[in-house]
Amino acid sequence: MQKFTTLSGIAAPMPLVNIDTDMIIPKQFLKTIKRSGLGVNLFDEMRYDDDRNEIADFVLNKAQYRDTQILVAGENFGCGSSREHAPWAIADFGITCVIAPSYADIFYNNCFKNGILPIALPQEQVDVLMKDAEKGSNARIEVDLEAQTITSSDGDVFSFEVDAFKKHCLMNGLDDIGLTMEKVKSIDQFEAAASAARPWV
């Protein structure tokens, strides 16, 4: 998992509430167990028409937002089913930070395990960043995880809260496997001692 420390980039505005996981990645794309390759189907039903042509006015199809790394959205982002494919698709597209007033709990926790920083801010602050994002390539939002701040292109600074353990994992690029591998020496020592004490096991 990539380390997340600071991020400066174009933010895409998506002022919709209750964006659920089926909107993020529709059910027909859940057959894979790979984390890669899902970005092309992110928000699939909003990005493409029935003939698989891009819908020009959808935000991620606009030239200024094709390489966005930050998504600014409405409340209750990631609600619905608990599919982990949702953060997989977001990360595979290249988005590593989502800013919204609130999130569904399972989606929120899954983000951290997949290298995505989900930031919850009061609605009035999200509104400021949403307007900033609407400027497109003329505006860049800066996210500093260590300082726990977001800076708009106009210099507005907003502080955000994040669990200390989740922050540590993101800043050090540690998913569940990475956390386990940090303890591999202790695990090996335990296994050796257990085998010596109970050789019949």
| Predicted pLDDT at 137 | 84
Residue 195 located in a structural domain: no
pLDDT in tens, 91-126: 999 999 999 999 999 999 999 999 999 999 999 999
pLDDT of 130 > 70? The answer is: yes
pLDDT in tens, 161-192: 999 999 999 999 987 666 666 566 766 677 76
Residue 198 located in a structural domain: no
Burial of 20 (0-12, 13-18, 19+ CB in 10 A): middle
Residue 135 located in a structural domain: yes
Residue 197 located in a structural domain: no
Using 50, 70 and 90 to split pLDDT, how confident is the model at 144?
very high
Q: What is the pTM of this model?
A: 0.87
Residue 193 located in a structural domain: no
Q: Are 19 and 78 in contact (CB under 8 A)?
A: yes
CATH number at residue 13: 3.20.19.10
Residue 190 located in a structural domain: no
Using 50, 70 and 90 to split pLDDT, how confident is the model at 198?
confident
Average pLDDT over the chain, rounded to an integer: 91
DSSP run (H or E) holding 6 = strand 6-9
Q: Are 16 and 77 in contact (CB under 8 A)?
A: no
* Average pLDDT rounded to a whole number, residues 148-170: 96
Say how many domains are in the chain.
Answer: 1
pLDDT in tens, 19-64: 999 999 999 988 877 778 899 999 999 999 999 999 999 999 999 9
Packed helices 164-171 and 105-113: angle between N→C axes, nearest 10 degrees: 30
Residue 26 located in a structural domain: yes
- Write the CA distances from 64 to 67, 136, 169, integer angstroms: 7, 6, 31
Residue 56 located in a structural domain: yes
Q: Where in the sequence is the domain holding 49, given as residue range(s)?
A: 6-173
